[in-house]
Structure 1
Amino acid sequence: MKYPIYPITFSYVSGIFCSLYTGLSLQFALIFGAIALLLFGFFILMQYNKGFHKNYNFFTLIAVCNLFIALGFVFHRLANKKIEVQQLNESEFSVKTIRVLKSNTYSHRIYADLVSHPQQPTVLVTFSNKQKTPKVGEVYKIVGSIKEVPYPRNPYDFDYKNYLKQKNIHYQIASYYPAVLIGKEHSVISKIADFRSLLMEQFSKMGYADQTKGFVEALLFGVKNNLDTNLQNQFKDFGIMHILAVSGLHVFILFSTLNYVLKQMRVPAKLIVLVLVLFLIMFSFMAGLAGSVVRASLMCILVLFGTVFERRVITYNILASSMLLILLVAPNYLFDIGFQLSYAAVFSIVFCFPVIQRFFTFNNPIINYFTQLIGISLVAQLGILPISVYYFNQVPILFLLGNLIAVPIATALLTSWFSQLIVSFIWLKFASYGTIVLEFVSNLCFNTLAKLNTLFPMKAFDVHFSSLQAITAFLFVMSVFWYFQNKQNRKILLSMCLLISFQLASIQKVYRNNSTSELVLVADRTNVVFLNRSGTCIAQIGNASPIAQSSIKNYLLHNGIKQKKTDSLCNSFTINNNSWLIIDSLAVYPSKKVDYLVLHQNAKVNIERLIAYTQPKQVILHSSNYGYLNEEYAAYLKKIKIPCHDMRNKGSFNINYNSDNN
Structure 2
Amino acid sequence: MLAEHKGEIPFLIYLMPFLAGIIAGLYFPVSVEILYISIAVLFCFFLALNLTFGKANIYNHSWIGGLLIHLLLFMIGYTALELNDNRTDKAYFEKQRADLLLVRVSNEPVVKQKYVRCIADVLQCGDLYNQRKASGKLLLTIMPDERHQLQYGDELLIPANYRAVDPPANPAGFNYKAYLAHQNIYAQSFLYPGQYRVMGYQPANQIINSALKTRQYFVSLFKANIKDTTAAAIASTLILGYKADLSPEVTQTYSRTGTIHVLSVSGAHVAVVYAFIAFLLGLLKHSRKTQWLKAIIAILLIWAYALLTGFSPAVCRAALMVSMVIIGNTSFQYVNMANLLAFSAFLLLLYNPLMLVDVGFQLSYLAVAGLLMFQPVINNWITFKSKYAATLWYYISASLAAQLITFPLSAYYFHQFPVYFLISNLLIILPSAVILYSGLSALLLSMVPFLKSVAALGFWLLEKTLTYMTMALSWIEHLPYASVNKLWYTLPDCLLLSGMVLLLFLFFFNRQVRYLTASLVCLLLFSASHSYGAIKLAGDNSITFFSINKHQAMLLKNGSQGTAITDLSAADPVFKYTIQPAADSLGITYLTIINQNEDLSKNYLKKRNDLLQFKQMRVFMLRPEYLPGSGKIDVDYLYVTGNPHFQLSDISQMIAYKMLVIDATNSAKNIECMVAEAESLKIKYYVLKRNKSLTVSSN
Interval containing the TM-score (normalised by the shorter chain): 0.7 to 0.9
CA distance in 2, matches of 1:549, 1:245: 23
Structural mapping, 1:19-418, within 5 Å? 19-22=25-28, 24-47=30-53, 53-55=59-61, 57-82=62-87, 83=92, 85=94, 94-100=102-108, 102-115=110-123, 117=125, 118-128=133-143, 131=146, 134-140=150-156, 146-177=162-193, 181-186=198-203, 187-188=205-206, 189-203=208-222, 206=225, 209-267=228-286, 268-359=290-381, 362=384, 364-418=386-440
The answer on 1:444 being equivalent to 2:460 is no
| Aligned AA (1:112) | A
Give the secondary-structure state (helix, strand or coil) at the position aligned to 1:158: coil
Q: Is the 8 A contact 1:522 1:652 kept in 2?
A: yes
Q: Is the 8 A contact 1:100 1:136 kept in 2?
A: yes
| Aligned AA (2:170) | N
CA distance in 2, matches of 1:89, 1:115: 13
Q: Is the 8 A contact 2:415 2:488 kept in 1?
A: yes
| 1:302-344 C-alpha deviation (Å, 9 max, x unpaired) | 2233335544211111111111111111111111111111111
| Aligned AA (1:16) | I
| Aligned AA (1:419) | S
CA distance in 1, matches of 2:515, 2:98: 61
Which stretch shifts more, 488-497 or 241-250? 488-497
Q: Is the 8 A contact 2:377 2:508 kept in 1?
A: yes
TM-score by length of structure 2 reads 0.84
What residue number does 2:586 align with? 559
Q: Is the 8 A contact 2:543 2:555 kept in 1?
A: yes
| 1:226-280 C-alpha deviation (Å, 9 max, x unpaired) | 2355433332232211111101100111112212332342352211221122123
Structural mapping, 1:462-481, within 5 Å? 462-481=486-505
TM-score by length of structure 1 reads 0.88
Q: Is the 8 A contact 1:386 1:465 kept in 2?
A: no
The answer on 1:651 being equivalent to 2:692 is yes
CA distance in 2, matches of 1:616, 1:144: 42
CA distance in 2, matches of 1:251, 1:174: 37
The answer on 1:491 being equivalent to 2:508 is no
| 1:466-521 C-alpha deviation (Å, 9 max, x unpaired) | 21222221221122122222112332233233223322332443355356564421
The answer on 1:568 being equivalent to 2:607 is yes
Q: Is the 8 A contact 1:522 1:548 kept in 2?
A: no
- Report how many residues are paired: 655
Label 1:393 to 1:454 Cα distance change in 2 as closer, same or farther (>3 A): closer
| Aligned AA (1:326) | L
What residue number does 1:510 align with? 534
CA distance in 1, matches of 2:489, 2:109: 30
Give the secondary-structure state (helix, strand or coil) at the position aligned to 2:53: helix
Label 1:528 to 1:127 Cα distance change in 2 as closer, same or farther (>3 A): closer
Percent of residue pairs bearing the same amino acid type = 22
| 1:564-617 C-alpha deviation (Å, 9 max, x unpaired) | 665426656677877655432246678888764433211223357668998976
Which stretch shifts more, 102-111 or 116-125? 116-125
- Which ranges in structure 2 are unaligned for 5 or more consecutive residues? 1-5, 126-132, 592-603
CA distance in 2, matches of 1:21, 1:630: 37
CA distance in 1, matches of 2:668, 2:71: 51
CA distance in 2, matches of 1:51, 1:5: 28
| Aligned AA (1:481) | F
Which stretch shifts more, 141-150 or 312-321? 141-150
Label 1:440 to 1:518 Cα distance change in 2 as closer, same or farther (>3 A): closer
- Which ranges in structure 1 are unaligned for 5 or more consecutive residues? none
